[in-house]
């Protein structure tokens, strides 16, 4: 006879019951959403750099080359 745990692990629970809903994941992980959307803004690019510099860096980070027409 198998002994059932009172608090099965997340892996065990969802292996039996299927994928969790968003609400279940939020409750399980204790996720807290910011009240102010401005808290989600990133500050990863210097203000003195132009959008062209940003786009060039983005293409470089993604491995795109200007000579590669498929990129």
**pLDDT tens sequence across 41-60:** 887 778 888 989 888 888 88
The mean pLDDT of 12-36, rounded to a whole number, is: 84
Q: Is pLDDT above 60 for 4?
A: no
pLDDT digits (tens, 9 = 90+) for 23-34: 888 888 888 888
Sign of CA dihedral 34, 35, 37, 39: negative
Neighbouring residues of 14: CB distance < 8 A, sequence distance ≥ 6: 20
Neighbouring residues of 28: CB distance < 8 A, sequence distance ≥ 6: 10, 20
Phi, psi of 29 (to 5 degrees): -90, -10
């Amino acid at each position: 006879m198998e002994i059932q745990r009172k608090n099965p692990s997340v892996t065990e629970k969802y292996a039996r019951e299927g994928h969790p809903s968003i609400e279940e994941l939020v409750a399980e992980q204790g996720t807290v959403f910011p009240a102010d959307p401005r808290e989600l803004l990133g500050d990863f690019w210097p203000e003195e750099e132009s959008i062209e510099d940003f786009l060039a860096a983005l293409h470089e980070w993604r491995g795109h080359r200007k000579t590669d027409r498929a990129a």
